[in-house]
Amino acid sequence: MCKMSWIMKWQTTSGFLVYRSYELPWFRTLSWYFLLCVNYFFYGETVADYFATFVQREEQLQFLIRYHRFISFALYLAGFCMFVLSLVKKHYRLQFYMFAWTHVTLLITVTQSHLVIQNLFEGMIWFLVPISSVICNDITAYLFGFFFGRTPLIKLSPKKTWEGFIGGFFSTVVFGFIAAYILAKYQYFVCPIEYRSEINSFVTECEPSELFQLQTYSVPPLLKGVLRWDTVSLYPFQIHSIALSTFASLIGPFGGFFASGFKRAFKIKDFANTIPGHGGIMDRFDCQYLMATFVHVYITSFIRGPNPSKVLQQLLVLQPEQQLNIYKTLKSHLTEKGLLQPSLKL
């Protein structure tokens, strides 16, 4: 809802002014239509991935999920044709400009929100640590810049300084490391969110993976003299938190710079006025632009392995003949590995 509200506010303050000035036909209708199409596609993908067993019990949902991508593409094509039919000779360039603007807006906002939900299903910790690291960086960078800032960082944001940028980086890494240690202790934050069809509810119960179990590490020789420790006990996730915090403090701010440049290009102060004195929701979360994407890529590249629960859900929706073939193949494979005793033939 926050995402939809922000898009509506943004169009009201900038795009809608163009719409009113030039009387572009169907502009607002098409903008909302494309927003609904993109949401239907992304959230339909999520339903297909995580609610397979529930969908299997509902015949109407089975049809929608089976042909989900085709339906999504057909809906988009309908909007595309509506746009072509709405073209007015004297406003061709402006209409194509607004068409591209709408698509870029959807790419930045809806895609990010979809990835946030994907990250949440991996465990609350993958949402809380990254987003809190960005918030921490915003606050500490401001404080360091306010008290020690002397050297301008970038022309797009004259108030940003190198001192704030560097101070925010070190503070964020320390914060992320500590936050990861605290959250990794609790099953609620580290367990993937799963839908249990038998109780018709989400659960966060599991045996924590090695990522969230204390491990003993040798202290590097350079630090032994300072810490006077030979070994240290850490959660492996704390090491990953350093990568997340580093991205949040070094690359995350460029999302804010991007937003500043965007607002300057359209000569607007804020994206909206939802929060009195602070602009809109996007003005407060502009540095979150890239964070959700990075976390998702990081999980899929370095963390995520095969998910037995998800594989089982996919198996349960297959035809009985397909399930039997998979059973025979798996049984033969386990027998060859010596994990199962070969069946005795009479």
The tokens 């300057």 sit on which residue?
264
Residue type, 3: K
For residue 36, which phi and psi values (nearest 5 degrees)? -65, -40
- Which element (helix H / strand E) includes 139? helix 125-148
C-alpha 65/C-alpha 61 separation (Å) is 6
Q: Where are the beta strands (DSSP E) in the chain?
A: 152-154, 157-161, 194-196, 201-203, 215-218, 231-234
- The amino acid sitting at 288 is Q
CA dihedral for 330, 332, 333, 334, sign (positive or negative): positive
Q: Residue 134 class from Cβ within 10 Å (0-12 exposed, 13-18 middle, 19+ buried)?
A: buried
Quick check: 69 and 79 in contact, CB under 8 A? no
Name which of 238, 296, 243 is nearest 112 in CA terms. Answer: 296
Question: What are the structure tokens assigned to 320, written together?
Answer: 């009985």
Quote the CA–CA distance of 288 and 306 in Å, as a whole number. 28
Residue 301 identity: S
Kind of pairing between the strands at 215-218 and 231-234: antiparallel
Please state the pTM of the whole predicted model: 0.80
Q: What is the pLDDT along the chain (346 residues), one digit of tens a residue?
A: 454 444 444 444 555 555 555 567 788 889 899 999 999 999 888 887 777 667 767 777 778 888 999 999 999 999 999 999 999 888 888 889 889 988 988 887 888 888 988 898 899 999 999 999 999 999 999 999 999 999 999 888 888 899 999 999 999 999 999 999 999 999 999 998 877 767 777 788 888 989 999 999 998 888 887 878 889 999 999 999 999 999 999 998 888 888 778 777 777 776 666 666 655 566 567 677 789 899 999 999 998 766 676 677 678 778 889 989 999 899 898 888 888 887 655 4
